[in-house]
Structure formats: structure tokens, C-alpha cells
Amino acid sequence: MVTMKDIAAKCGVSPATVSKALNGHSDIGAETAENIRTTAREMGYLPNSAARALKTNRSLNLGVLFVDKTSSGLAHEYFSTVLNSFKVEAERLGYDITFISKDIGNFKMDYYEHARYRNCDGVVIALVDYSDPAVSRLVESDVPVVTIDHVFNNRTAIISDNVQSMVDIVEYVYEMGHRKIAYIHGEDTLVTKKRLASFRKACMEKGIDVPDEHIRAALYHDPKSSSLATRELLSLQNRPTCILYPDDFSFLGGMSELERQGLKVPDDISVVGYDGVLLSQALRPRLTTFRQDSEGIGRRAAAKLVDEIENPKMFVPTQVLVSGSLLIGNTVKKV
Amino acid sequence: MVTMKDIAAKCGVSPATVSKALNGHSDIGAETAENIRTTAREMGYLPNSAARALKTNRSLNLGVLFVDKTSSGLAHEYFSTVLNSFKVEAERLGYDITFISKDIGNFKMDYYEHARYRNCDGVVIALVDYSDPAVSRLVESDVPVVTIDHVFNNRTAIISDNVQSMVDIVEYVYEMGHRKIAYIHGEDTLVTKKRLASFRKACMEKGIDVPDEHIRAALYHDPKSSSLATRELLSLQNRPTCILYPDDFSFLGGMSELERQGLKVPDDISVVGYDGVLLSQALRPRLTTFRQDSEGIGRRAAAKLVDEIENPKMFVPTQVLVSGSLLIGNTVKKV
DNA sequence: TAAATCGGCGAAAACGATTAAGTGAAGTTA
DNA sequence: TAACTTCACTTAATCGTTTTCGCCGATTTA
């Protein structure tokens, strides 16, 4: 390991000068600075992040907190895209990312403690059980935090516009002539509540009556529960002409049931997905679905978090609403 | 931040004693040690990983190197499951994980430099362009490395048994009476080469002739290219009775084409996937597919890497072959 | 000409932990 | 009883950086 001391020795200056030169301080002569920079390069010098973190109390490291219940967290295309763009933006801004968990080795700790232990400059929170006290502790701490798709007091949140999306979907389906629209929603979360309320409101405004039996609960990203919900909807006296699914994967579960019953999409029944995963656009017929701007969400989360870290004085908790767009495929029939 | 010094002051001992007590050294009296531990807990003490890393030259941090071409890297269910189990096992062993990239902020660096900069104790490599010189530099360095699904000299590799899997698939399809088996393979990688060679060999051993036109190239995880390949296969004079897909998602692309042509699976044509993603088991008919033990692969990668880190003397590069299993669904018809 | 300013650099003290090398008291051995 | 161990703890150096002062010579100002 070549250190600043080594460079100092070679250049005939003090380590302090090397540090300043490498960090671009103004009180070093142009010539000296240049000389130091080139020899640093020649000697293959690399800063030691641990030493720097120790001294400056800044790690240039962001924590990512998400919990993988159903062990499909990372596999969830929406979230993994968010994470990926978060990572890309964070790296562009000079930050690395580390996963935050409870209990590291034999050391029991909660999320807050883990974040402190790793000197995380900030943490992004997504896809967790927001009622977990350990999450609350982190959110209420002095660590900069940005949450995704969930709003906390005095914290910046990046949220996909779940209200507008449902409005867009309902309007489109309405324009296509449908009046019996069923909605299979995901498990009870803030996101689900918003979507459901927006769905109801949009329908009401269009003068569409939504009987309770047309609202069905399922689980996100779980083809089986949607398949079941689909079966229930199909067995109704008052059968819907269009079914909205909680996400594209859930639609695929529902599709199995539709096929089993010999129903063709969209001729016999119309469907709409949510998320706009790659796969949905490769299917034939192409799925009509709402594409969230997951890339934008991750990018903005990183940008906001870094901004809060680097300009704490000017920090104001913000809610950033990121809008997506309806991808119109061929799964909603004009009636 | 409460430090060891604070604890030392409160307990009336020296910081050294606190350090030893907290790290379970034997030369501290039982009573003193217990006292130190409880006051540490009471004061909310947390070790400072940066200070520890600086002094011990160990960070308890593992690097993860993967590159997200097509930006679906993380979204790939196989890889994200591998990564997740890697993470879980690493955390169980006391290690955190950080992503390794080129260029962090304005600082240009390659993978090796990044790993050193972050003091990574070891790195796991997956899904990268193995011909990248930056990857070679890391692999040839003194940093402990474990690779997944790719073998390097003198490095431990965890590999999914791509040879046996193809044997299992061919044998099953053969038993079901198929003699015209087509194979759509992914882009040209080591994994693809192995699968393809194994496919050819297994067919030969069964006495099945495989004309070149039954071997088609597509891209992994890309429904569109498989859809195209499927169309080509279906247009052949000598049409196959069973098509093997490079992965489950590719099958879904192919399925669109089959449906477009009015072909029913498995009555009109049989298909086999690869990976055994959750979705494949929710489809109806249930997809017959080969499930790789991705959870086992991630877990073993972490275990091997940590073992190499903690017992460098006994390190011997190993190739761990992880076998999966054929999930028999209803997409291969008995003929 | 004396005083003030300034540019360029170094000395040294941290940051929080680990650890080799002691130290002193008590117990053990010959 | 003298010498040796053992036990329980302390001292102090060190890891690689950063940063606050302060220094010194040169230039500008009064």
C-alpha cells in the first residue's frame, strides 16, 4: 500500500502538503501540486477510505435498506430497477452503496446501529415493513434518510404517482367503452390504499358503479393469489368486462386462469397490468399496463439523498412525485 | 458517538482493556469484562468500522462485482436470488456487502482499485464481461475472489452444473418419446458453450440426430429474440416436436409466437424452460424447466469467500459444482 | 523604512480502535 | 525465601488522513 507519506518522501514535501494537493486545496503552489499529482499516479496511490472516514466522519457510502420477505425483493423488477438507477446515480456523485441489515454476524444491531457502524452518510429505504420499530428508529434518527413509495414526517420521500396512474388507467378503460371494471389490488400498504382510493374516485367521477365484489385482494407479485382472485371474479353473476391487476406478474397468474376457462384476451375479456416490466411488452397480445418511472425514482432518490448530505443547512423535506405513463397494448378491447 | 475511551472512563479502566473485553480476549478478568460489556450496552456503544478497518486492515466488507448490461442484471431472477443468498450468508458470517464499480465520482478507477479503496476483504464476481482487462486485473490480484459460473485459474469458482442439467432435460424429453428436439441457446458465453456441448452429447448418446437448423441462437432473458427463433423453428420442413429454451423468460417470448400460430402447449408442441423462476410454476400449464440451485450458489460463494479470507494458509482454489433439479410440469407431452 | 499582508508550506494533533510489550501484585515452586 | 509464573491490566505506538496553526520569506502599503 502506497500512502501519502510515501508520496511526500518522494516529492520532498510533508504529508500535509500531499493531502492538500490531492484534495485540491488552494494553498499549494501550482507546480508542487502538479508534481505531487503525477507522482501519486505513478506510484499507484489509492486513498484509504477507512482512514479518511475516520478522520472526516464521512464515508462516501450510502446504505440501502430493504427487506426481502418472500425472498423476491431484489427479484422484483420494479425495485431492482430503482436500486440500479440509485446505484448508478450514487456512483456518479462519488458514493458507494452498502446493504443495511439487522444483526451482522453475532453482533445484534438494528438498522440505525448498522448505519452508524458503517458510517453511512445516508440511507435509502424501500420495500420494508414500515411499521417495524427498527425502521422508525432509523427514520427518526439524525441520519439522512430518503424513503421510496412511503411518506414519513420530516423526511424526503420519492413516490410513484399512484393516484394519477389509476386515473389514467380508468380513463383509458372508460374511453374504450368498459363500464364494469374490476380491480384486484395488492396487500394492504400505503401504496395500495392510494391506488384503491384513486380507482374508486376515478370511477365515481366517470359515473361507474363499482360493487364491492369487483374489488378483490391479492398479493403483489404473486401469480397464484391473482389467479384465485380472477377465478372469483369470473364466477360472478355480474361479471366484469375488464380486470385491473396489481402488477404484471399477477396478470400472468390471472392469465393462466383465463386460459383454463377458455377465455381469450382481449376478445372475451380485457385486462390491464401495472409496472410495465420488460416481459409485458414482449407478450402477444402486448399487455396494456402502467409503467412507473422506476429509473427516475432511483435517480432522484440518490440525488435528493446526496443533496441532503452535502447541504444539510438547506435541507427541506420534500415529497417528489414521479409520474409514469400508460403503455397501451392490445389487451383492452373497444366495446 | 460514544467511544471506547468513554467506556473506559466510566469503568475506570484503560481503553485497551475495553477493547479486549469487547473482543473477548482471555486476559481480562471475568468481572471486569462483564462490567465493561454491560456499560457498553448501556451507553449505546457501537464499534467504528472505519477505525477498526484502519488498524486491522480488515473491513468485514465484501465487494460484489457485476455489470448491468441491458440494465436487467439485478432484475434477472437467477442472479438476484444468488445475490440475495450471498448477502444473507455473508451477513451471517459478519460481513457486509458493497457494490464495486469503475469510476466513483470523478475518481477514475478500475475494479481492483475500487476494491482496495474500500478495503474489501474479498470480492465475488458474477455476470460480467470476463474478457474485460479490468476484470482480469482483479482476478489476478491478491484480493480473494470467488467467481460464479465462470472458471479462472487459481480461483475458486461456484458453478451451476450446466452439463448435468442438459443431460437431465434430454433424458426426460427422450423418455417422453420426443426425437426431434430443438434447442434455442443464449448468447455466446462459457455457460452457453457448456450447455450446448452437453445437449449435443446427450442427444448423440440417445441416438438422436440434431440437425443444425434445430439449434438456434437467441439472447438470455430476451423474449423477443426467442420469439423470433421460435418462428424460425416452426417454419422448418422438419419441425421439432419439442423446443428447449435458454430460460423461462425466453420461453414466454416463444409462447407468444406459438399462440399467434394457434399452437397449444403441450398438445401441439412441447417446451422446456430453464431457471425455474417463480412465475414458471404459476403458469398453466406449469412449465417443465430446470431449476438451478441459485440459493445454494450464493450461499456457497459467500462461505467459500469468507473461508479464503479467514484461512488464507489453507486456501486451495476449488471448483464447486452446484446441481439443480428438473421441475416436471405439464409442457412436455408424451408421444 | 517599518509594518502589514500574503502565498506556500510544515508540525503536530487528532479520529477510534488494536496490540506488542510491559508492570505490579499475588500465587507457586524449589 | 528467592525466583519464577500467572493474572489482570496499562502504556504507548500505530493505522492513513485531515486540518488547524504557525512559520518564513517576499511583496505591498503607509
Phi-psi region of B48 (alpha: psi -120 to 50; beta: other; left: phi over 0): beta
Neighboring chain A residues of B61 at a CB cutoff of 8 Å: 98
Put simply, the answer to whether B223 touches A279 (Cβ < 8 Å) is yes
Q: What local confidence, expressed as pLDDT, does residue B251 receive?
A: 94
Cα distance from B67 to chain A (closest Cα, Å)?
10
Write down which residues 52-91 in A have CB closer than 7 A to strand D.
Answer: 52, 54-56
Residue with CA nearest to C8's C1' atom: A28
Question: Chains A, B: CB contacts under 8 A, how many?
Answer: 157
The integer distance in angstroms from the CA atom of B138 to the C1' atom of C18 is 29
Phi-psi region of A165 (alpha: psi -120 to 50; beta: other; left: phi over 0): alpha
Burial of A295 (0-12, 13-18, 19+ CB in 10 A): middle
Distance of alpha carbon A265 from alpha carbon A306, whole angstroms: 46
Comparing every residue's Cα with the C1' atom of nucleotide D18, the nearest one is A55
Query: How many angstroms away from the CA of B238 is the closest CA of chain A?
Result: 25
C-alpha to C-alpha distance for A166 and B173, rounded to whole angstroms: 45
Non-local CB neighbours of B41 within 8 Å, separated by 6+ positions: none
Is the pLDDT confidence value at A196 over 60? yes
pLDDT, tens digit (0-9, with 9 covering 90-100), for A274-312:
999 888 887 878 999 999 999 999 999 999 999 999 999
Three-state DSSP class for residue A33: helix
- A259 near B CB under 8 A: yes
For residues B187, B192, B195 and B200, what is the CA-based torsion angle, rounded to 10 degrees? 60
Taking the C-alpha atoms of residue A259 and residue A239, their distance in angstroms, rounded to an integer, is: 16
Given this model, what pLDDT does residue B125 score? Answer: 96
Rounded Cα distance, B328 and B285, in Å: 11
> How far does the CA of B14 sit from the C1' of C22, in Å?
15
Task: pLDDT band for A65, please (50, 70, 90 cuts).
Answer: very high
Q: What pLDDT score does B74 carry?
A: 67
What is the C-alpha separation between B247 and B275, in angstroms, rounded?
6
Task: Please choose, from the candidates A276, A279, A278, A235, the residue with its C-alpha nearest in 3D space to the C-alpha of residue A258.
Answer: A235
Contact B257, A284 (CB under 8 A): yes
List of chain A residues whose C-beta atoms are within 8 Å of the C-beta of residue B92: 105
- Residue B1 burial (C-beta neighbours within 10 Å; 0-12, 13-18, 19+): exposed
The reply to whether B3 has its C-beta less than 7 Å from any atom of strand D is no
Q: Is the separation of the CB atoms in A126 and A147 below 8 Å?
A: yes
Helix (H, G, I), strand (E, B) or coil at A215: strand
Contacts of B222 in chain A (CB under 8 A): 282
Q: What is the mean pLDDT of residues A185-205?
A: 95
CA distance linking residue B329 with residue A186, whole number of Å: 27
**How far apart are the C-alpha atoms of B101 and B103, rounded to whole Å?**
6
C-alpha cell at B155: 480461483
Residue A69: DSSP 8-state = G
- Among chain A residues, CA nearest to B106: A94
Are B100 and B115 a contacting pair, CB within 8 Å?
A: yes
**Any bridge partners for residue B242, and if so which?**
B181, B270
Task: From the CA of B21 to the C1' of C29: give the distance in Å.
Answer: 31
Q: Which residue has the higher pLDDT, B284 or A50?
A: A50
Mean pLDDT of chain B: 93
Contact with chain A for residue B249, Cβ under 8 A: yes
Q: Is the preceding omega at residue B266 within 30 degrees of 0, hence cis? A: yes
Given CB atoms, is B280 within the 8 Å cutoff of chain A?
Answer: no
Distance CA A196, CA A325 (A): 18
Distance CA A66, CA A201 (A): 31
For residue range B32-74, list pLDDT tens digits in order: 999 999 999 999 999 999 999 999 999 999 999 988 665 555 6
- Of chain B residues 10-69, which have a beta carbon within 7 Å of strand D? 12-17, 20, 27-33, 51, 54-55
Q: Give the pLDDT of residue B259.
A: 84
Given CB atoms, is B101 within the 8 Å cutoff of chain A? yes
Residue A84 to residue B73, Cβ atoms within 8 A: yes
% of chain B at pLDDT higher than 90: 81
Nearest CB neighbour to B104, from listed A91, A256, A284: A91
* Residues of chain A with C-beta less than 8 angstroms from the C-beta of B260: 284
| Percent of the residues in chain B that have a pLDDT greater than 70, as a whole number | 98
pLDDT digits (tens, 9 = 90+) for B204-260: 999 999 999 999 999 998 888 999 999 999 999 999 999 999 999 899 889 989 988
For strand D, is any atom closer than 7 Å to the CB of A5? yes
A234 close to A184: Cβ distance less than 8 angstroms: no
Q: Quick one: pLDDT at residue B181? A: 97
